[in-house]
Amino acid sequence: MALNILRITDSGCPFAYAAGPALSVLRHRYGTQINWRLAMIGLAEHHSLYEEKGFTGEMMAISNASFSRRYGVPVTSEARARPLATWLGCKSVVAARLNQPELEANVHRALQIGWFTTTLALDEEAPLLTVLEEVDGLDAKATVEAAVNDQEVAEAFAEDRRKARSAQGSPTEAQNKHAMDGDLVRYTAPSLLVTSTDGRQLEAGGFQPVEAYDVIIANADPTLTRHTTETAAEALEASPWGLCPAEVAAILAAPLSEPDVAAAEVELIKLVVAGDAKRVAAGNGAFYSIA
């Protein structure tokens, strides 16, 4: 029986995107032993909410660059004309959950990459459609239409937002990994809420090192088998989407050791030259997948 993990996240959150290497480790370590579910935060309904706080496209680009330097994830440092609202993207993830649930995580992943490696205005329908059309097997047009118009999607998204704003009295709040949304205590991304085999809920609130996520999984179900990935090729073969070098390095790293991003990138380049992998440029980096 798979262990259930609810990931509270937002496609436009830089911390959720920067957690990609840590979350990739968990996926490759535990595979199908974990049943991943998403709850979308919905950080901002309209971009004016960010502008009222003084945020600009330039500020976001500078922030992106700092995240890339620190965490190794590909970004663009080209500034958008304005900051973006996240509701439409989040509702697209919910629409995929309701209509093509096997692609929900793929939609979220595609939106994250589009958010941080392009300058597309992903709070508008046409640019959003452009990104979602890259998700294999997805009815992108129907997904966007449902995100905009479908009442069931709106209700499910409202429930996601409720869950995301239910952190009062939680371990996440105790650890000061929460945020405030008016009077509501909100989980920050990417909080992991794990339901243990005896029904307890264990939390790793917000952005954490992979060891923090891993320890609550081990406490939730110590019988899970831990898989070790030995090569970059094995990492790519097991992944449902392309991986950046920082993700591959994290997957290959021994416990409590520093991931060797340079060595992972060398392996990936060799795979591409041999014709065994393909490289897709993204922002200041790239994502690799099996050819």
DSSP 92-127: HHHHHHHH-GGGHHHHHHHHHHHHHH----TTSHHH
Instruction: Using CB atoms within 10 Å of the CB of residue 53, give its burial: 0 to 12 exposed, 13 to 18 middle, 19+ buried.
Output: exposed
Amino acid in position 76: T
The pLDDT value recorded for residue 215 is 95
The pLDDT value recorded for residue 54 is 86
The pLDDT value recorded for residue 77 is 92
Task: Assess whether pLDDT exceeds 80 at residue 200.
Answer: yes
pLDDT in tens, 106-160: 999 999 999 999 999 999 999 999 999 999 999 999 999 999 999 999 999 999 9
The pLDDT value recorded for residue 268 is 98
Using 50, 70 and 90 to split pLDDT, how confident is the model at 37? very high
The pLDDT value recorded for residue 53 is 87
The pLDDT value recorded for residue 193 is 98
CA distance 26 to 29: 5
Question: How large is the average pLDDT for residues 197-226?
Answer: 94
Q: Can you tell me whether residue 240 is helix, strand or coil?
A: coil
- For the chain, give the percent of residues with pLDDT over 70: 100
CA distance 19 to 268: 21
Question: How large is the average pLDDT for residues 206-229?
Answer: 95
Question: How large is the average pLDDT for residues 85-97?
Answer: 98
pTM metric for this prediction: 0.96
**What domains appear along the chain, each with residue ranges and CATH number?**
3-220 (3.40.30.10), 232-290 (1.10.10)
The pLDDT value recorded for residue 146 is 98
Give the list of residues 6+ apart from residue 207 with CB closer than 8 angstroms, or none.
15, 16, 18, 19, 177, 188, 189, 190
Reduced DSSP (H G I as helix, E B as strand, rest coil) percent helix, strand, coil of the chain, to 5? 50, 15, 35
The pLDDT value recorded for residue 4 is 95
Question: How large is the average pLDDT for residues 34-39?
Answer: 97
The pLDDT value recorded for residue 192 is 98
